[in-house]
Structure 1
Amino acid sequence: MKKEFAVIGLGRFGGSICRELSGEGMAVLAIDKDEDKVNQFKNIATYSVILDSTDEDALREIGISNFEHVIVAIGENIQASILTTVILKELGVSRVTVKAQNDYHEKILRKIGADQVVHPERDMGRRLAHNFISSNILDYLELSDDHSIAEVKAGRKMAGKTLADLDIRAKYGCTVVAIKQGREIIVSPSADESLQEEDILIVIGADKDLSRFEKNLVIEE
């Protein structure tokens, strides 16, 4: 069975989620109080409805509690975001993901029961910043407040050396969980795995340790 999602707020973030979920064959209800935005998704989402998500009766009437996962992607209106989240949890929605505008907004959302809080602008800013530092840092994903996972390209400093030679875990406190060599992916690589330029390493660790690792082995002058 297809999973059923509802996306509330069809701005850039919510609209992107709606398109991706629909493209993956999921059943998606697109919701916004702006008629023009809703009309844009009539031929994309499975269903679309013009609705004020702070209206509890309206949400109950469309059967919002029947959806497995509701994404609240409301833009600048923090009050509407918070009130919508409260209503969704009171109506029994099992999983609610909410876009936060700032850390204070996130604290409130977590206190009122949001299951997941995301900061798309902040997270994208971090990912881009790491890529700006070095083209060898391909991606950067925050796992918690102080741990992340990085996707880095092996350059001159790593080429021709084994993981044992580099001793990444002992020297930097990071763990190489996988290596991509062309189309092949090596999961939990052994210490004698030799690296070549253009190999891609998936590395996990504390932010401070990843930073030392990147400065010493990834970033090239």
Structure 2
Amino acid sequence: MKLNQFAIIGLGRFGSSLGRELSQLGYEVLGIDHDEEKVNEMSSVLTHAVAADGTEEEVLRSIGVRNFDCGIIAIGDDIQASILAAILLKDLGVKKVVAKAVSELHGRVLEKIGVDRVIYPERDMGIRVAHQLVSPNLLDYIELSKNYTIAELGVPKKLTGKTLSDINSRGRFGCSVVAINKPKGMIIAPVAEDVLTEDDVMVVIGTNRQVEEFQESIER
């Protein structure tokens, strides 16, 4: 299901950053926050911005939040408000509900009440930055699950002129290069004969260990 309309409850640092990016990508975004100052700051950025209590059922109903494809709960440290907003969005029939969690326990509660996706911005950013610091060719790192990772790896000089067949990531390590981001554009589902250059970025998917071993091999 393609998501085109997003309602964000909570316009703190995370919520406002998320809303700004979605708006820039061309999506319709409704921002909801009880703080009028935050709402005023985002009113020129988002499609709509409303000063209201996102934990009040009648408020959400009157705004028409049920008509949005995705409801995002970006409330900060008020765990009670976060959970209440999640319950209301589910009860109102929002198609997909995403919520920010501030702890593992908070996340487990959100999952129990049926939130479709729980995100941990601070934890996930820490993990990504740590990997980037210790791996010079790693440009980005996303943990898909406890066992699987997708990573963006810069192509080192020693691999310039090599084909995907030459590096044989799948045969040697079990991970796959699923895309190559070249200066002239992205190659999706590259073939064995595609040639790498130093300016390229490989998008690699595999188990954590497979990707780690592949990283180590190209950095040696």
Normalised to the residue count of structure 2, the TM-score between the two structures is 0.89
**Match status 1:54 vs 2:47:** no
SS in 2 for 1:189: coil
- Alignment match, 2:93: 92
Query: How far apart are residue 61 of structure 1 and its match?
Result: 2.4
Amino acid paired to 2:33 = D
Amino acid paired to 1:187 = I
SS in 2 for 1:185: strand
How far apart in 2 are the matches of 1:45 and 1:61? Answer: 19
**Match status 1:171 vs 2:172:** yes
The CA deviation string for residues 165-201 of structure 1, in whole angstroms up to 9 with x for no partner, is 3221122110011223321433333334343323221
How far apart in 2 are the matches of 1:24 and 1:185? Answer: 18
Flag the 1:19–1:206 CA change in 2: closer, same or farther, 3 A. Answer: same
The CA deviation string for residues 54-91 of structure 1, in whole angstroms up to 9 with x for no partner, is 22222222222122211110011111111110111011
Query: How far apart are residue 157 of structure 1 and its match?
Result: 4.3
How far apart in 1 are the matches of 2:190 and 2:68? Answer: 40
Count of residue correspondences: 218
Query: How far apart are residue 44 of structure 1 and its match?
Result: 2.0
- Alignment match, 2:132: 131
- Alignment match, 1:210: 211
Amino acid paired to 1:147 = Y
SS in 1 for 2:159: coil
The CA deviation string for residues 103-156 of structure 1, in whole angstroms up to 9 with x for no partner, is 222221111111121122222222222221133111112222221111111114
How far apart in 2 are the matches of 1:94 and 1:186? Answer: 32
How far apart in 1 are the matches of 2:17 and 2:123? Answer: 17
SS in 2 for 1:203: strand
Flag the 1:151–1:93 CA change in 2: closer, same or farther, 3 A. Answer: same
- Alignment match, 2:162: 161
More moved, 175-184 vs 144-153:
175-184
More moved, 128-137 vs 18-27:
18-27
Amino acid paired to 1:174 = C
- Alignment match, 1:181: 182
- Alignment match, 2:117: 116
The CA deviation string for residues 9-35 of structure 1, in whole angstroms up to 9 with x for no partner, is 001110012212223333222111112
Flag the 1:208–1:27 CA change in 2: closer, same or farther, 3 A. Answer: same
How far apart in 2 are the matches of 1:163 and 1:31? Answer: 48
How far apart in 2 are the matches of 1:19 and 1:185? Answer: 25
How far apart in 2 are the matches of 1:19 and 1:33? Answer: 18
Q: Which runs of 5+ in 2 are unaligned?
A: none
Normalised to the residue count of structure 1, the TM-score between the two structures is 0.89
SS in 1 for 2:142: strand
RMSD: 2.0
How far apart in 2 are the matches of 1:69 and 1:209? Answer: 34
**Match status 1:196 vs 2:194:** no
Query: How far apart are residue 6 of structure 1 and its match?
Result: 1.1
